[in-house]
Amino acid sequence: MHLRRLFEAGLVAAALLLWTATSHAAIRGSAHDFSGQTWNPSGEICLPCHAPHGANTSVADAPLWNHAVTQATFQVYQSSTIRATDLGQPSGRSKLCLSCHDGTVALDSFGGRTGTRFISSDHNIGTNLRNDHPISFTYNDALATLDRGLFPPSSKASGLGGTIQTDLLYNNKLECSSCHDVHNALGLPELLKKANAGSALCLTCHNK
């Protein structure tokens, strides 16, 4: 029995080491690896977003946040067909993404500094989000029933091990990180959480 416990403990340790190595390798070399940028003289990958000391702990859903947060007012998605009733200004994790991608906050505005290096035009979404997928709205079974073109998130499998609700939503809301993984765990194009061949990612939620 003692040997079995040692064996099981060894398997757990090996799994943790593999996960750590994979996670580290995923962000290294990805679009969010800023270690080689001139505006990040520390050469650290994590520092532009996270800090081990002196972080901004008031930012929700962002452990040890280190980057300035956008204060922009956005033009949000509008459509006569959308059934979400709480579609407003980006919040939560989406606001953090936009703190670089809206083009109003410099990439090097971290660690309490006001930077001067802004995101390139091909990754600058801007503050007009009317032609982008809506974000920061509640996606629940009631919305799916009302819309008729969405799967119920509490029961529909995401293809990532759980349901849409457990794997893709944050506080029951759809955010930028519902589709994109900022840490690039799977190494997919556009930092996607799931391959979109045949619109597979889109059809995870959309019942078409």
Report the alpha-carbon distance of residue 81 to residue 147 in Å, rounded.
Answer: 8
Average pLDDT for 28-45: 95
- 136 neighbors 174 (Cβ within 8 angstroms): yes
Q: What pLDDT is recorded for position 22?
A: 43
Residue 3's pLDDT band, with cuts at 50, 70 and 90, is: low
Band (60; pLDDT cuts 50, 70, 90): confident
Output the pTM of the full model. 0.85
- Domain residue ranges in the chain: 1-30
Cβ atoms 57, 50 nearer than 8 A: no
Q: What is the pLDDT of residues 109-166, one digit of tens each?
A: 999 999 999 999 999 999 999 999 999 999 999 999 999 999 999 999 999 999 999 9
- Specify whether the CB–CB gap between 153 and 167 falls below 8 A: no
- CB-based contacts of 15, cutoff 8 Å, min separation 6: none
Tell me how far apart the alpha carbons of residues 46 and 98 are, in angstroms, rounded to a whole number. 17
Q: What size, in residues, is the chain?
A: 208
Please tell me the distance from the alpha carbon of residue 96 to that of residue 70, in angstroms, as a whole number.
Answer: 7
Which residues, listed in sequence order, are joined to residue 137 by a DSSP beta bridge? 174
Assigned token pair, 158: 């995401």
Residue 54 DSSP class: S
